[in-house]
Structure 1
Amino acid sequence: MLERSSAEMVLRPAPDAVFALLDGRSMLFSEAGQKIFELDRVGAFIWCKLAQGASLEDIYRGLAALGIDGNTARQFTRQVVNVWIDRALLEVDWRMPTDCVFSANLGRHRISVRAANRELLGRLLSPFCVSEQGGEGDIEIEAMMLDEQVILRGEDSSISRCDVEALAPTIKARVTERLIRSNRWVFSLHAASLVKDGMGLLLCGQPGAGKSTLTLQLVDAGLQYAGDDVALVGADGTICGIPFALTLKEGSWDLLSRLHGDRYDATHCRCDGVRVRYVPIPDAQNQCVSARWIIFLNRVASGPAQLTAIDPLDSMKRLIENAFAADGRLSQAGFFALKRIVAGARSLQLTYGEAVEARRLLMESCNGGA
């Protein structure tokens, strides 16, 4: 079981949440959500206690005095508190310890992550390749335990929660979303990114195409790692990966063991139930580069690996299908940035069944082969 948080947490009604009675029936009104929620007797008791500043332990004891056994009291209180947090009906306030914090530079932003204790901090470190102790950031996340779940708070006071096993993937997803929505980039691509001799290589493909596995192979072959999931694009057409630790699903764990032994055997569970392991790459690239190779992955059941040239216009169309923008649409600035990327790079489709063969073919191409 994870160590309990040493910081003090206070749960209280959000300023725009109102409690009222109508003909003896209890209800909540959310001004932000423009919705009314009816409460039963126990829910109303819990809400009023929180409004009075009671702790969860105080509420458990109060419910016991009403004849509700301890386990039922805890379970019901956790359920309603989770629902109210998800609906932004509750505010969560706490004061964090000053020595459980690290920072990292990603996508031209400084990320600061604070935790309520060191064990929680260790889990938060898992998806980061490089970090520094302490430091402030323009993107900040705090994490604290609430019973068996982790509560996360951003610098904008937004609150979310997740299971302990899903903490590292949740942090990665949350930071990635913030970077994608940053106005420092015109759009982003769903692609792994690597660097050879100062020039970028993009691996594009749908989930399951093998981007992360092939990225691991190419890093082992000598390419510099820059990110395995999202590449950010500047207005000048340069690309910048988000160098989180390389994320590998279960199908790649045998390869991981062959290359690194059991060094990275800690398993995390994403919110969709997929189990992953993280491989931090110490010398990960964190700078903007121009793309020289754009590789579209086409994974097949069997057959030899083949590289096929793709028409630049077709390449642009494919990249747009894998693009994200802060407002959900590609701007004219984004279009011209995309044009610069394609004009300066070779666009190729890689059809392959085995990652080892794909690695050999790509390295030959990067080294000046056909």
Structure 2
Amino acid sequence: MLHLDGRVMFFTPRQQQLVELNESAAALVEQAQSGITLHDMAMAFVPHAQTRHDAQHMAASWLADACESGLFNAAIAPAPAHCAGFSVDLGGHDFEVVADDAALIDELRPPYGELIAPRGSGQRIHVIPFGDRIALLAEGGEAQFVAPGRLATRLRHTMLTNILSRESRIALHTACLVRGDRAVLLCGSPGTGKSTLTLALIAQGWGFAGDDIAFADPSGMVQGLPLPLTLKRGSWPHAAAWADVEQLPVHEREDGAVLKYLPVRPVDARPRRVGAVIRLQRQDGAQAAVDGWDRVAALQTLFGEAYSESGQSSAGMVRGMCDLVAGAQCLTLSYGEAADAAHLLAEDHALAF
């Protein structure tokens, strides 16, 4: 903590901000840094609460706020046994989500209905009620605190972050489908209809391999990451033609965006050669049409939106992406309605494989 002109400030490394603290907050932060327990911290809230339970709830909520602000990290010890949970297999990345509150598990399980694996496998993620927040605690990581309405989106983010931290392959920001024995990558900026077109192509018999992440290896092959299909608010009316979107629960992201998760059965998880890389250009009223896309531009687009844990791409990764594009059709798909675009791509002459 820093002291200046009789006032107390705290530097938060995570947000890179200076936060001014009042006298009570400064005392709590100082005690917390010394290793105070939640029970002892609750004593500071007793004068402001009707019961000790309320005081502990207030202390937990304050601690969650402080951790989210980057003031410090809370060490939360999960319970040794849990009454509820489920395991999922995300293309070879396994997670077990556990909680003492069965209602939390009932809320989180449905999007992963097509990905359920035998219990007890994978990295464990604990879901722990904490004041007016929910704490997510992945083994080996820090506790994350989230409002109840944002729990499902934070769980997905936690899984994805964990997967990316362990992957040596480069992550491409594309939807990944399978036609025959080849992968098809759909690229496009937000609003171009990747998720809706994915549903339309699944209805045409294509396989689902990944929502918006595919991993490319140095040999030029890709494997989709089969997270539940994310449907943003604008896509709900269009997606309703292929799925019962209305009955899906609404979830909120940290940025305030609302969305729904649709469970989709994926194809078998394995690397595949890429048959086509398709850039989507959607405009209301446009007729579905396919044109060529410059391979260099396609490679630059894929590379520009790619991610690797190290923050750098090796020569082998870049060579693999070049081989990926060289062996694939690179196309631009212009369309207005997803159904028309899916019918066009399903025609024998549209794709050369």
- Report if TM-score (shorter chain) is over 0.5: yes
Matched ranges for 1:213-228 at <5 A: 213-228=196-211
Other-structure match for 1:358: 341
Other-structure match for 2:184: 201
Structure 2 CA distance for aligned equivalents of residues 205 and 64 of structure 1:
54
Inter-CA distance 286–304: structure 2 relative to 1 (3 Å threshold): same
Inter-CA distance 26–243: structure 2 relative to 1 (3 Å threshold): same
Give the total of aligned pairs.
347
Q: Which runs of 5+ in 1 are unaligned?
A: 1-18
Q: Which runs of 5+ in 2 are unaligned?
A: none
Deviation at 1:246, TM superposition (A): 1.0
Matched ranges for 1:2-21 at <5 A: none
- Whether the 8 Å contact between 1:28 and 1:37 is mirrored in structure 2 is yes
Structure 2 CA distance for aligned equivalents of residues 314 and 62 of structure 1:
60
Deviation at 1:181, TM superposition (A): 3.4
Structure 2 CA distance for aligned equivalents of residues 204 and 263 of structure 1:
27
Deviation at 1:198, TM superposition (A): 1.9
Structure 2 CA distance for aligned equivalents of residues 48 and 317 of structure 1:
50
1:46 aligns with 2:31: no
Secondary structure at the aligned position of 2:309 is classed as coil
Normalised TM-score (structure 1)? 0.81
Inter-CA distance 133–24: structure 2 relative to 1 (3 Å threshold): farther
Q: 1:348 aligns with which of 328, 331, 339?
A: 331
1:125 aligns with 2:109: yes
1:302 aligns with 2:313: no
Letter in 2 for 1:42: S
Structure 2 CA distance for aligned equivalents of residues 172 and 279 of structure 1:
13
Letter in 2 for 1:212: S
Normalised TM-score (structure 2)? 0.84
- Whether the 8 Å contact between 2:42 and 2:59 is mirrored in structure 1 is no
- Whether the 8 Å contact between 1:86 and 1:160 is mirrored in structure 2 is no
Other-structure match for 1:14: none
1:212 aligns with 2:206: no
Structure 1 CA distance for aligned equivalents of residues 274 and 91 of structure 2:
16
- Once the two structures are superposed, what CA deviation does each residue of 1:320-363 show, in whole Å capped at 9, x if it has no partner? 22222222233211111112211221111001111111111111
- Once the two structures are superposed, what CA deviation does each residue of 1:290-336 show, in whole Å capped at 9, x if it has no partner? 11111111112322111001232232122222222222233211111
Secondary structure at the aligned position of 1:362 is classed as helix
Structure 1 CA distance for aligned equivalents of residues 82 and 106 of structure 2:
15
Matched ranges for 1:221-370 at <5 A: 221-261=204-244, 264-365=247-348
Structure 2 CA distance for aligned equivalents of residues 200 and 109 of structure 1:
20
Deviation at 1:367, TM superposition (A): 7.1
Inter-CA distance 346–146: structure 2 relative to 1 (3 Å threshold): same
Deviation at 1:69, TM superposition (A): 5.6
Structure 2 CA distance for aligned equivalents of residues 360 and 47 of structure 1:
61
Other-structure match for 1:113: 97
Secondary structure at the aligned position of 2:76 is classed as strand
Deviation at 1:25, TM superposition (A): 7.4
Deviation at 1:254, TM superposition (A): 2.6
Deviation at 1:278, TM superposition (A): 1.3
Structure 2 CA distance for aligned equivalents of residues 112 and 69 of structure 1:
37
- Whether the 8 Å contact between 2:58 and 2:131 is mirrored in structure 1 is no
- Whether the 8 Å contact between 1:250 and 1:276 is mirrored in structure 2 is yes
Q: 1:93 aligns with which of 63, 73, 76?
A: 76
Determine what percentage of the aligned residue pairs are the same residue: 27
Secondary structure at the aligned position of 1:91 is classed as coil
Secondary structure at the aligned position of 2:254 is classed as coil
Inter-CA distance 132–117: structure 2 relative to 1 (3 Å threshold): farther
Letter in 1 for 2:285: S
Letter in 1 for 2:107: R
Structure 2 CA distance for aligned equivalents of residues 147 and 28 of structure 1:
23
- Once the two structures are superposed, what CA deviation does each residue of 1:123-157 show, in whole Å capped at 9, x if it has no partner? 332442311242242x4422211122111222223
Q: Which structure's residues are more often strand, by fraction?
A: 1
Q: 1:165 aligns with which of 149, 156, 161?
A: 149
- Tell me which moved more, 279-288 or 164-173: 279-288
Inter-CA distance 257–314: structure 2 relative to 1 (3 Å threshold): closer
- Whether the 8 Å contact between 1:99 and 1:134 is mirrored in structure 2 is no
Deviation at 1:60, TM superposition (A): 4.7
